[in-house]
Amino acid sequence: MGVPTRIASMNALWMLLASVLFSVMGACVKLAGRHYGVTEILFYRSLIGAACLFAFVHFRGMSLSTPLAGLHLRRGVVGTAAVFLWFYATTVLPLGTALTLNYTSPLFLALLVMAVAMRSGRRIDWPLMATVGIGFIGVILVLQPNFAPGQAMGAAAGLFSGVLSAIAYWQVKELGERGEPEWRVVFFFSLTGAILGGLGSLAIGFTEHTPGGALLLLVIGISTLLAQLAMTRAYGQGRTETAASLQFSAIVFASVLGVMLFDDEIPLIGWAGIAVIIASGIGSTALTARRRALRTTSTEFPDRS
Mean pLDDT over 214-243 rounds to 78
Q: What is the mean pLDDT of the chain?
A: 81
Report how far apart, in Å, the C-alpha atoms of 137 and of each of 54, 278, 301 are. 43, 12, 36
Please count the structural domains in the chain.
1
Q: Is the pLDDT of residue 29 over 50?
A: yes
Task: Say if CB 233 and CB 69 are below 8 A apart.
Answer: no
40: pLDDT strictly greater than 50: yes
- Confirm whether 157 is domain-assigned: yes
List pLDDT tens digits, range 200-211: 999 998 999 999
Q: Is residue 277 within 8 Å of 135, Cβ to Cβ?
A: yes
pLDDT the model gives residue 236: 57
Separation CA 137–CA 289 (nearest Å): 22
Q: What are 236-259's pLDDT values in tens digits?
A: 555 555 666 677 788 888 888 888
Q: Which residues contact 278 (CB under 8 A, 6 or more apart)?
A: 100, 103, 248, 251, 252
43 is a domain residue:
yes
Q: Is the distance from CB of 13 to CB of 229 less than 8 angstroms?
A: no
Q: Is residue 71 part of a domain?
A: yes
| pLDDT tens by residue, 80-138 | 999 999 999 999 988 988 888 888 877 777 777 777 777 777 776 677 677 777 777 77
Please provide residue 213's backbone torsions phi and psi, each rounded to the nearest 5 degrees. -65, -45
**Half-sphere exposure (CA, 13 Å, Cβ side) for 124?**
8
Indicate if the pLDDT at residue 2 is higher than 80.
no
- The answer to whether residue 220 sits within a structural domain is yes
* Rounded percentage of the chain residues whose pLDDT exceeds 90: 31
* Alpha carbons 53 and 55: distance in angstroms, whole number: 5
Domain that holds residue 47: 3-299
Q: What is the pTM of this model?
A: 0.82
Q: Is residue 304 in a domain?
A: no
What distance in Å separates the CA atoms of residue 277 and residue 98, rounded to the nearest whole number?
13
pLDDT in tens, 143-197: 665 566 668 888 899 989 988 988 888 888 788 888 888 888 889 999 999 999 9
Give me the DSSP letters along 3-20: HHHHHHHHHHHHHHHHHH
CA angle, 16 then 92 then 139, to 5°: 65
Q: Kindly state whether residue 305 falls inside one of the protein's structural domains.
A: no
